[in-house]
Amino acid sequence: MKAHRKKKLSIILFIAVGLSIAIGLSLFALSNNIDLFYTPTQVAAGEVTPGQRIRVGGMVKEGTVEHNQDELEVSFITTDYSHDVQVLYTGILPDLFREGQGIVAEGMLTSAGVFQASRVLAKHDENYMSAEVRSALESAGVDSDGMSSGAY
């Protein structure tokens, strides 16, 4: 019985140590890898520290999308109708990116106050079917809520 107890104890110890390492590691990784979401108003209010990795969401303001004709650089303004944020992005924009569409840009704010995006997500269709489409995509287990990624 004693040997049996000892073995059981060592297994429990092994599990406990393993678990606490895993939990510690998880929490550490989590604290380093969350992206906060901001609206253009919050960005304008100076709530964002430049250099911090964040997400900004808003609508693409009509007439502000400018493609550099020789390179893949794009600049546009995203807005929540009370404040604007200028976004710079290099790469190919997602299929659903259009002026007047809702987008989420991932990246960081430069000290000049321009948002340098590393990824632009677009979503939503012109009509409300897209809510249905989204749930279709979701139940199919896809890239979230029908977003198509511009780059990754």
Partner 1 sequence: MIPELGNFSLILAFALSILLGIFPMVGAARQNQLWMGLARPLTAGVFVFLSISLAILAYSFVTDDFSVQFVANHSNSMLPLRYKLTAVWGGHEGSFLFWTWMLGGWMLAVAIFSKSMPTEFVARVLSIMGLISVGYTLFMLATSNPFDRALPLSPADGADLNAALQDFAFIIHPPSLYMGYVGFSVVFAFAIAALISGRLDSAWARWCRPWANAAWAILTLGLSLGSWWAYYELGWGGWWAWDPVENPPLITWLLGAAMIHSLAATEKRGVFKSWTVLLAIMAFASSLLGTFITRSGLLTSVHAFASDPTRGVYILGFLGLIIGGSLLLYAIRAPILKSEFGFGGWSREVFLLANNLILVVASAAILLGTLYPMVYQAVTGGDLISVGPPYFNTIFLPLVGILVLLLGVGPVARWKKTSRAYLIKQLSKVAIAALVIGVALPVLLTLGVPLTTIIVTVLACWVIFSLLRDLQSKIANKPDVWSGLKSLPVSYWGMQLAHFGFVMTMAGGCLTSIYSVEKSVLLDPGESAELGRYTFVFEGIEPVQGPNFIADEASIEVLRDGVYFRHLYPQKQLYTASNTPATHMGIDGRFFRDLFVTLGDARNQGAWSMTLYIKPFVRWVWIGTIFIAAGGILAVTDKRYRRFKVRQVQRAAPVTNKDSQPVVEG
Partner 2 sequence: MKNLKLYIPVFAFLLLAVFMWRGLYMDSRTLPSTLIDRELPEFELRTLGEGDQLVSNTDLPDEPFILNIWGSYCLPCLQENPIFMSAREQGLVPIVGVNYKDRDNLARDWLDINGNPFTMNIVDDSGRYGIDLGVYGAPETFIVDADGVIRYKHIGTINYQAWEDEIMPVVRELQSAHAASASASSGQSS
Query: Which residues contact partner 2 by CB under 8 A?
Result: 37, 39, 41, 57-59, 61-62, 80-82, 99-100, 102, 124-131
Contacts of 64 (CB under 8 A, 6+ apart): 75, 76, 77, 99
Distance CA 102, CA 115 (A): 16
Instruction: Report the nearest approach of partner 2 to the CB of residue 147 (Å).
Output: 13
- Binding partner at 51 among partner 1, partner 2, none, C-beta below 5 to 8 Å by kind: none
User: Least separation, in Å, of the C-beta of 57 and partner 2?
Assistant: 5
Q: Specify the residue, 114 or 133, whose C-beta has the smaller distance to partner 1.
A: 133
Q: Which two tokens stand for residue 92?
A: 């190919």
b/e code 19-28 from CB counts within 10 Å (16+ = b): eeeeeeeeee
CB of 19 to partner 2, least distance (A): 12
Q: Residues annotated as binding site for heme?
A: 124, 128
